[in-house]
């Protein structure tokens, strides 16, 4: 008479009642091991692939899913909230230690929908040229902790902006800039960045970061 054999239970998935936080190779209750190919409960065999899949799904190890593009944009926008106020001022645009490149004057709000927004750039190099802002398209006012704009008291000290306008009377020109206010008397205020392009996209004035401190003039941040 052939020896009796015990029937082997088929492989099954892990019960969804496993406690959260259980890792591979950990023990869940007495005598229940979760190693690859281990036995979960009496007579219930779990393959390595099933075990890994079960742990991922049932123990919530993939709860952080891929972030969509829209969600990424929303996170970026949180860091791009402009502080309220406006900045006024003007003065020389130094091209170097000894040479004055031109002059500028402006009144710019931190909200593109607030008016007025004016920026005039007069370039003295060569025969002389002029940029006139017609539309402010981007404004970001921020507080650099290394800069103190007071007096007067203001919530920000750095104005970053972009806009479109006319260059030598021709429409389609663009400008982008960063102006800072480091308090009085204005000698530490900076044209941190100023790029002007004509309608063809040719750069006609370029002051890259970190830019220049004003030789003459003042930038003033306001509430």
Domain positions in the chain: 7-65, 86-222
C-alpha distances out from residue 140 to 72, 90, 132, 144, Å: 19, 19, 20, 12
Q: Is 210 exposed, middle or buried (0-12, 13-18, 19+ CB in 10 A)?
A: exposed
Q: What are 5-23's pLDDT values in tens digits? A: 454 544 444 344 444 444 4
For residue 96, name the pLDDT band (cuts at 50, 70, 90).
Answer: low
Q: What are 153-207's pLDDT values in tens digits? A: 889 999 999 999 999 999 999 999 999 998 888 888 999 999 999 999 999 888 8
- Pick the most confident of 30-39, 66-75, 123-132: 123-132
Q: Which pTM does this prediction carry?
A: 0.63
Does position 149 have pLDDT exceeding 80, yes or no?
no
- Judged by DSSP in three states, 71 sits in helix
Span 74-89, average pLDDT? 75
- Bridge partner residues of 120 (DSSP): 105, 132
CB 215 within 8 Å of CB 92: yes
> 8-39: string of b/e by CB count within 10 Å (b at 16+)?
eeeeeebeeebeeebeeeeebeeebebeeebe
Q: How many helices (H) and strands (E) does the chain have?
A: 2, 10
Compute the mean pLDDT over every residue in the chain, rounded to the nearest whole number.
74
Does position 65 have pLDDT exceeding 50, yes or no?
no
Least confident of 20-29, 87-96, 203-212: 20-29
Spatial separation of the C-alpha atoms in residues 37 and 40, rounded to whole Å: 9
- DSSP letter at 82 equals P
Spatial separation of the C-alpha atoms in residues 198 and 140, rounded to whole Å: 23
CB 87 within 8 Å of CB 108: yes
- Report the sign of the C-alpha dihedral through residues 119, 175, 146, 186, in that order: negative
């Amino acid at each position: 008479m052939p020896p009796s054999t015990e029937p082997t239970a088929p492989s099954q998935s892990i019960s969804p009642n496993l406690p959260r936080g259980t890792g591979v190779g950990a023990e869940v209750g007495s005598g229940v091991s979760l190693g690859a190919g281990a036995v979960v409960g009496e007579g219930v065999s779990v393959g390595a692939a099933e075990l890994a899949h079960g742990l991922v799904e049932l123990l919530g190890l993939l709860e952080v899913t891929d972030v969509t593009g829209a969600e990424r944009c929303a996170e970026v926008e949180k860091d791009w909230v402009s502080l309220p106020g406006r900045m006024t001022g003007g003065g020389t645009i130094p091209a170097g230690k000894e040479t004055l490149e031109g002059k500028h004057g402006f009144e710019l709000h931190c909200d593109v929908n607030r008016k007025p927004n004016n920026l005039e750039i007069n370039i003295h190099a060569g025969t002389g040229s002029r940029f006139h802002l017609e539309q402010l398209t981007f404004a970001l006012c921020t507080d650099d902790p290394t800069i103190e704009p007071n007096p007067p008291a203001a919530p920000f000290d750095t104005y970053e902006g972009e806009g479109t306008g006319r260059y030598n009377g021709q429409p389609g020109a663009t400008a982008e800039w960063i102006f800072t206010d480091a308090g009085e008397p204005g000698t530490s205020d900076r044209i941190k960045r100023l790029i002007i392009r004509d309608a063809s996209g040719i750069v006609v004035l370029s002051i890259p970061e970190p830019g220049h401190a004003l030789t003459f003039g003042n930038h003033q941040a306001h509430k």
